Structure 1
Amino acid sequence: MPPRPPPRGGARGGGGPGGGPPRGAAPPRGSAPPPRGGTRLPLGGPPQVAGPGQVVLAAHVQTIGVRKPGYGKEGRPFSVFTNHFGAQITDNIISHYDVISPSEKVLPARLNFEIIEALQTKCAPAVFTPRCVYDGRKNLYASHELVFPNSKDPRQHEFEVYLAGPPAAGGDGAQAGASSKPYKVRLTKVAEINPEVLKGYLRGTQSHDNAVLTAITAFNVVVRMEPSLKYPFNVRSFFTDQETKDIGSGMILWRGYFQSVRPAVGRMLINIDISTGVMYKSGPLIDLCLDFLGKPGNPAFLSPQRGLPERERHRLGRFLTNIRIITANPKTGQANVRAHNPRVIKRLSTQSAKDLRFTMSDGKTQTVADYFRTAYSRPLRFPDLLCVEVGSGALLPLEVCTVIPGQIMRKQVPPEKTASVLEFATKKPEARLESIVNGLKVLEYGQSEYLRSFGLSVDASGPVKISGRVLNPPTLIYGAGSRQATVNPRNGEWNMIDKKLYKPASIQRWIVVIYERQQRFSQPAAEDMINGLRKATSDMGITGFNAQPRIEWENPQSDIITTLRRFGNEMRAAGGLPDIYVLVLPDGAADLYQQIKHFSDCQVGVATQCLRSNKCFRAKPQYYANVCLKINVKLGGINTVPDAKSVPFLADRQNPAIIIGADVIHPSPGVDNKPSFTSMVANIDPTFSRYVAISKVQKSRQEIIDDAEEMVKHCIRMHISYKVETGIEQKAAFPKRVIVFRDGVSEGQFKQVIDGEIPKIKAACAALNLPVVPKLTVVVVGKRHHVRFFPQQGQGDRSGNCPAGLVVDSDVASPAEFDFYLQSHAGLLGTSRPAHYNVLYDENGFTPDSMQQLAFALCHVYARSTRSVSIPAPVYYADIVCARAKNHFDPSLNVDLSDTESQTESGQQRSSTKTLSYYQKAFKPLAVTAQRRMYFT
């Protein structure tokens, strides 16, 4: 057997205000829900009539979020196709079994599937006919109650399953002549699932409870069982090699298919979409290593003696971790095809096979290369190359290892490969829908024995056609001096030709610092850039840029913060600090950018605008116009505001509102011991166009915002102080309504938000001792879903997508809860993704129309563009603030938030010793002068 390294000690690293109480606490069973504004539900008398694709929700039904108050009516009707297919479910009872390995050893999902497949087809086929379905972990579902022969307990039985060797004749588990150790599997019946509860939920007569959730889960396992046995899979998607793309660096893209059984209004649907999987390149491990390092055909590069840089070895080691390999027979050189018994790479060695020594059982030491030569009479072809250590501790030369095909890479895709992934994943609407329909041939629902046995059928005749509406956009107001004072966007777009900004900023002093060699960005190029900014700012109404700025060329390797501070002090001594730094950066200047933003945001609070040298060199006027949109709001200006008359919510000045966007971002996949960042962004003006932000550090991968109370208090205080200081009447300074748009929460986490965040938000509102405690509404905005809408022939926009403003709140929406899909932006590339809005809590009595109008209006106040965006501006801003939070760490501390764990010389992975408290103490707050600026634009 392959050699093992000597022990190292210890384990190896391995609307408007309305009446009625909010939703959050359901009414007691048997009682009618109190009125809550909006469309009233029937509490007696004549039944309400539902339109096509709609249901009338029974009075006793309870939900997780706000009960569906009805359906919107505003906008012009617009029918679309969607990537859903009709489904029929069984009336038969489903038996639910808990699957336990008595050893309690957690095995990979792929191996678990192999064990359960062998259990059903080889070990005890009579028990498992018809076949059961399995989720890869703990749950097995049967379309009938299983009968366990010779079992003392009819609800429980333990099997022994062999993955190798012929099955024994008779018996229920033991296999004579098996060549491997058996896996023990214990099945215990834990519940029965009655699909009738799910049908009641679809009709609006059953609450959204655990029985409904379990039934939905069971049917999802049914549709995923067969693909999970045949193809590489990842949660709800599986991937095939029928369409692939090699993007280099050891990565190949595979086309995949997402599928999910979903309850909709009045019926079950299956949501199908295409997806993309990043796979490791299969074949000889040496080839994968060389491909990753960009040295194909050059095995010598993997030799430490021939100059493999330590940095590259670390990078390669992180890439190889957890890849499954099979090994060649040392004597024959043929790969071992027992795919169910692969080895998992744990780490990369620091020495070559000819230098790496291990201790034999007799106490003697030997090199890996010598071991293979003496034990197998087969000298290594490449003894100078590194080895890998696998999970068992064995050391294997690279040349004897083969990478198994179809392995999903679960690490973050390198930034330089993002464009290649997007190019492969992006399809225009017509092509995407065609691929989805063609995917039905791969899914083979009609041929699946699992679907047949569970009485689940899918209508493969074509995608479902549903009814939607296209909302009217808000009117936008520009500033005095504009040839056209108002604009009505068309399909999510407008322009600023002959228009002045609503509130243009002004400056007195500015400085230009160029971190590019003067030979590449010369004095004439700098003057051309300055003239472009002057022309654009003048056209838009911004004043002060006609003054001659100070221009400096600086070395990007210098101390950036010290240099910028010196320039600022010199200008202050001559008359005052600069109002803005305009900085020209070279390509690939992420570290430089982080230093600049830390200086700007956390140290001095002076605005900065970074430009890439290759973008602003001889740039067109449109480029500078876009830059000026950012500059104006950074300097305290306002670009445009929605006309309150077109959005009733905004017009209600008797009930002033604060709108907060909230988000959390987590470390990249595979990155451990790094914190998550939270943010909140809130408007401080009555036009909902000027915002402030706050961000915090919290426990890694925790979705609920720990500091929600403190952050909400900060937002409301900033909102009040701005209004007081700017002379807005005292009563209007205090918000009476708080609307929170929460990003990044999955459907399974709604209850956590209701229980964990909403009480903190309400506590913040109460603790401020406002004249009136504001009424709260919380809405989750989701983008991580696979619902798509496709226009009918000839009805799409220029990109082939549905027009901006498409809203769907029936047919494919929840049958019981207040939700809707809104495609608020015009298409550019590929197929547009609508945002999914779920109202979790509502004290303000929003109707469907009023909530949909508000969300759509807020998608038009994003300051950085003259296009509507895909989610409301405060949510968009919160996402940006989270991403910029890493700039709050002083660059001199070298706080590393990336996946950069290295290996020690002994081969052990070095884990981070930094704790959450370290990151929290090192996290610098915004400078006081930056707190009022929209620094994040």
Structure 2
Amino acid sequence: MNVLGRESITEILQTYNSDLAEKRFAYDGEASVYTVGPLPQNNFEFVVVLEESIPKRRNPSEDGIENEPYKRSKSSLQSKTFKVEISYVAKVGLNSISEPEKNQDALRVLDIVLRQEADKRGMFLEIGEGLMGVRAFDSNFCQTLGGLCLNMDVSTNVIFEPGPMVDFLLANQKINETRDIDWGKAKKMLKNMRIMASHSRVEFKVIGLSEKPCNQQLFSPGDDEESVEITVYDYFVKRRNIKLVYSSNMPCIDVGKPTRPNYLPLELCLVSVQRYTKALSINQRASLVEKSKQNPPDIIQAMKCNYVEDHILFDCGISIEKNLTQINGRILDTPKLKVGNNEDCIPKNGRWNFNNKKLLKPSQINLWAIVNFSERSDCSQIARELIKCGREKGINIERPHTIFEEDPKCRRATSPVKRVEMMFKQIIDELPNRPDFLLCVLPEKECDIYGPWKKKCICGLGIVTQCISPTKIDDQYLTNVLLKINSKLGGINSLLEIEHSRQIPLVSDKPTMILGIDILHSGSNVPSIAAVVGSRSWPMISRYRAAVRSQSSKVEMIESLFKPLANGEDGGIMRELLLDFYETANERKPTQIIVFRVGVSESQFSQVLNIELDQIIKAYKHLGRSHEIPKFTVIVAGKNHHTKLFQDSDAENIPCGTVVDTNIVHPTNYDFYMCSQADTVGNSEPVHYHVLLDEIGFSPNDLQNLVHSLCYVNQRSTTCTTIVAPVFYARLAAEQMSELTNFEEYSSETSSGEKSVNVPELPRLHKDVVASMFFC
């Protein structure tokens, strides 16, 4: 949101109300405002004066008291004058609002009106560790089978808590003294953060930290390369006459370019308001869930209490029904599972367990070891409990060959990559052969050892590994660990009963491949990661292989499904997956392919068919038999639609397996909502499935049951997934590969505005794990 723009519009409406004929504005947060009817004239020019609050921080060392916690001082006010011009651009007619083919512009304007009203009703939640939650009301108009509807939802976004940078670092690392700041963690956290320089009010993006503290870091203040270098501290204190209280012994914030750093003392940096897009810590996630959870009655009441009739909508002649839309839904039968000893397992509320049950196809683990990077874990106990739990689930696990303990001197003095290399030197020296797998014990879940360790194992040496950071060890925790290990080693935890008996309509009788496609976007200048998983070992639909590639930042369509090379070969994703299907399906090519795509908007549906599906077909033809094109069913799964479903007369969530395909669906397209998971906290959110193409010819009932069943093939835990497992796995594969890759250098080069560089490739998986479910 453009805060400055919104404040300027508010000031204009208050100061120049009579000049504007008391018209109300709907502001889009960018450069456009909308009114009902014309303004008195086509062009205006206003002078606006805004006051902003500048937070300060006082260090007790000014009073001669060292090493005490910092305390806030009162903020000061600073006035700034702006010139704002408003000019007539175009007229948007609302007469077309009831015509689905012509009402896009009108609906877009009405959505802006709604969003402006919703923004006034947001509230903040304290999450901790330097983050805040912003509870907001999302609303938009949409055309449905039942007519024009208002879609409303309550959601919570996470932002950085704005204020002095040092406040954020202390809160983020849960410490009181700046001397205790872990600058390695700080550098990772601050990368790409937007900050404002308090002395200039200019906003920058952080690219890193200086190598030396502020009072030692030299730079040349002039454009002349021969100018005398000066420390950052002396430059600001002596040349800019800016008093620095506590920055002298801290690193500087680098907001420049790789070839020309631009250093700012830490205390002159303010954290700007911005979305937080990294993973939340365990404590942050728990706090967010606790403070933002709302059960169905709470959500309904919040929307009713907070909805205010908007004056601009009233001026447009639009009224909104206050009661929720009444619809009918169906509840699909829960899929049965087949587990070990040919036993049936019937999930309840989307969950099942292996109490007194064995895995369907357990692995044999002969040679393995535990690698311990944690000071607090009892690895001998972990080994005993894991072996015991494995025996109960049918996995025969021998005693670990060795427990490798990290030298305590390495933990603080060595980089994560070096620590991993030193540990592997011990492993290679002591283990007689390649281990079946390595259990890695980490000190915490979000640990900088994770990426280098995984990369070394699955890319460098081809060793299956499982990382854990247990806070408590019980049967449920160890069972979930064993499910992941068994899947990675090629075992099978469970199958659908209809899969096991080959009774899936239109799938079990013809070679059918199922694809899940997703793209992970990490930042504005960071390459995106495209991941596709493909089913293998047909007629099974519970085993998958992943293929992952990097591509240009923020590009929504996958660029390498089909990738012709100079030598005439195909180096794309689909060749890899099609060959794997052929090899694991008794040398049969797929005659049917079901594609599940996630992460695209309705405006991009045609691109999925014209670009991505076309690439898949080209990859298939490239393998030969170009006249035998398989039949395709293409489905887009959407989660960011803000549609919620409630039971009419019950405070509980809707049952898992609920399907809605009437009233609130698209008036002409083939789509449906499905809620596969029964959440115990908050409100269950259905997934919106759009069927773009169905050459295979599923009946609606068969297709919906297949989609529902694919939420129960999850091999990594004993809960069904909220979305079909193939796209769930694709996201896991993309996230796993992003942990192995350091795109910082590429990001810095592209953000510097210098010549474009090629997108760096992802590290290649070792041949011994490339076909495994390494992402589980």
TM-score range (shorter-chain normalised) is: 0.7 to 0.9
How far, CA to CA, are the matches of 2:583 and 2:353 in structure 1? 34
How far, CA to CA, are the matches of 1:291 and 1:791 in structure 2? 41
Partner of 1:437: 304
Which fold has the larger relative contact order, with Cα–Cα distance below 8 Å and residues 6 or more apart in sequence? 1
Q: 2:194 touches 2:271 (CA, 8 Å); kept in 1?
A: no
> Structure 1 residues 223, 769: closer, same or farther in 2, change over 3 A?
same
How far, CA to CA, are the matches of 1:931 and 1:486 in structure 2? 32
Letter aligned with residue 313 of structure 2: L
Partner of 1:621: 475
How far, CA to CA, are the matches of 1:421 and 1:806 in structure 2? 27
Secondary structure at the residue paired with 1:830?
A: coil
Partner of 1:200: 99
Does residue 529 of structure 2 align to residue 677 of structure 1? yes
Q: How far did 1:488 drift?
A: 3.3
Q: How far did 1:309 drift?
A: 8.2
Cα RMSD (Å): 4.4
Partner of 2:405: 554
Structure-to-structure mapping, 1:799-838, within 5 angstroms: 800-838=652-690
Q: 2:443 touches 2:469 (CA, 8 Å); kept in 1?
A: yes
Per mean C-alpha deviation after superposition, the further-off stretch among 777-786 and 597-606 is: 597-606
Partner of 2:152: 272
Q: How far did 1:380 drift?
A: 6.1
How far, CA to CA, are the matches of 1:779 and 1:421 in structure 2? 32
Does residue 36 of structure 2 align to residue 143 of structure 1? yes
Partner of 1:247: 128
Partner of 1:752: 607
How far, CA to CA, are the matches of 2:374 and 2:126 in structure 1? 38
Q: How far did 1:390 drift?
A: 12
> Structure 1 residues 370, 452: closer, same or farther in 2, change over 3 A?
same
Does residue 702 of structure 2 align to residue 850 of structure 1? yes
Q: 2:197 touches 2:269 (CA, 8 Å); kept in 1?
A: no
**Aligned residue-pair number:** 706
Partner of 2:621: 766
Structure-to-structure mapping, 1:146-545, within 5 angstroms: 148=41, 157-164=42-49, 180=81, 182-189=83-90, 191-196=91-96, 198-201=97-100, 207=101, 211-227=102-118, 231=120, 239-240=122-123, 244-245=125-126, 247-249=128-130, 251-278=131-158, 281=161, 301=178, 321-323=194-196, 344=203, 351=214, 382=245, 407-409=273-275, 412=278, 415=281, 417-440=284-307, 444-445=308-309, 448-460=310-322, 462-479=323-340, 481-482=341-342, 485-507=343-365, 509-516=366-373, 520-521=377-378, 523=380, 525=381, 528-538=384-394, 542=395, 544-545=396-397
Secondary structure at the residue paired with 2:465?
A: strand
Q: How far did 1:935 drift?
A: 1.9
Does residue 771 of structure 2 align to residue 919 of structure 1? no
> Structure 1 residues 450, 915: closer, same or farther in 2, change over 3 A?
same
Does residue 476 of structure 2 align to residue 635 of structure 1? no
Does residue 496 of structure 2 align to residue 595 of structure 1? no
Partner of 1:6: none
Q: How far did 1:748 drift?
A: 3.6
Letter aligned with residue 499 of structure 1: K
How far, CA to CA, are the matches of 1:614 and 1:473 in structure 2? 33
Q: How far did 1:815 drift?
A: 1.7
How far, CA to CA, are the matches of 1:475 and 1:313 in structure 2? 48
> Structure 1 residues 506, 312: closer, same or farther in 2, change over 3 A?
closer
Q: How far did 1:134 drift?
A: 3.1
Letter aligned with residue 700 of structure 1: S
Secondary structure at the residue paired with 1:693?
A: strand
**Structure 2-normalised TM-score?**
0.78
Letter aligned with residue 247 of structure 1: G
How far, CA to CA, are the matches of 1:707 and 1:218 in structure 2? 37
Partner of 1:172: none
Residues 723-771 of structure 1 deviation map (CA, whole Å, 9 limit, x = unaligned): 22xxxxx6xx221111111122233432332332121122223322347
Match of 1:699 among 520, 541, 552: 552
Residues 807-855 of structure 1 deviation map (CA, whole Å, 9 limit, x = unaligned): 1122222222111111101213222221111122332233322221111
How far, CA to CA, are the matches of 1:880 and 1:119 in structure 2? 48
Letter aligned with residue 765 of structure 2: L
Q: How far did 1:910 drift?
A: 9.2
How far, CA to CA, are the matches of 1:380 and 1:694 in structure 2? 54
Q: How far did 1:636 drift?
A: 1.9
Secondary structure at the residue paired with 1:878?
A: helix
Partner of 1:777: 633
Residues 607-634 of structure 1 deviation map (CA, whole Å, 9 limit, x = unaligned): 223333544xxx3333333333223222
- How many percent identity over aligned positions? 26
How far, CA to CA, are the matches of 1:315 and 1:497 in structure 2? 41
Structure-to-structure mapping, 1:79-158, within 5 angstroms: 109-117=2-10, 122-123=15-16, 125=18, 130-145=23-38, 148=41, 157-158=42-43
Secondary structure at the residue paired with 1:257?
A: strand
Q: 2:23 touches 2:39 (CA, 8 Å); kept in 1?
A: no
Q: 1:578 touches 1:606 (CA, 8 Å); kept in 2?
A: yes
Residues 549-570 of structure 1 deviation map (CA, whole Å, 9 limit, x = unaligned): 4123232757545755875687
Q: 1:345 touches 1:389 (CA, 8 Å); kept in 2?
A: no
Q: How far did 1:783 drift?
A: 1.7
Match of 1:741 among 596, 621, 630: 596
Per mean C-alpha deviation after superposition, the further-off stretch among 271-280 and 218-227 is: 271-280
Secondary structure at the residue paired with 2:615?
A: helix
Secondary structure at the residue paired with 2:141?
A: strand
Q: How far did 1:701 drift?
A: 1.7
How far, CA to CA, are the matches of 1:314 and 1:625 in structure 2? 36
Unaligned runs of 5+ in 1: 1-107, 149-156, 166-177, 202-206, 232-237, 328-341, 374-378, 725-729, 890-894, 903-908
Partner of 1:930: 769
Secondary structure at the residue paired with 2:558?
A: coil
Letter aligned with residue 140 of structure 2: S
How far, CA to CA, are the matches of 1:110 and 1:700 in structure 2? 27
Match of 2:543 among 687, 690, 693: 690
Partner of 1:104: none
Q: 2:141 touches 2:150 (CA, 8 Å); kept in 1?
A: yes
Unaligned runs of 5+ in 2: 51-78, 257-261, 411-417, 563-571
Q: 1:322 touches 1:346 (CA, 8 Å); kept in 2?
A: yes
Q: How far did 1:882 drift?
A: 0.4
How far, CA to CA, are the matches of 1:855 and 1:759 in structure 2? 24
> Structure 1 residues 252, 326: closer, same or farther in 2, change over 3 A?
farther
> Structure 1 residues 842, 531: closer, same or farther in 2, change over 3 A?
closer
Q: How far did 1:258 drift?
A: 1.8
Q: 1:533 touches 1:624 (CA, 8 Å); kept in 2?
A: yes
How far, CA to CA, are the matches of 1:898 and 1:935 in structure 2? 27
Letter aligned with residue 240 of structure 1: M
How far, CA to CA, are the matches of 1:311 and 1:522 in structure 2? 27
> Structure 1 residues 123, 719: closer, same or farther in 2, change over 3 A?
same
Letter aligned with residue 655 of structure 1: K
Q: 2:383 touches 2:400 (CA, 8 Å); kept in 1?
A: no
Residues 518-547 of structure 1 deviation map (CA, whole Å, 9 limit, x = unaligned): 985264x25523532442343xxx4x42x4
Q: How far did 1:900 drift?
A: 9.9
Letter aligned with residue 112 of structure 1: G
> Structure 1 residues 747, 138: closer, same or farther in 2, change over 3 A?
farther
The structure that has the greater radius of gyration is: 1
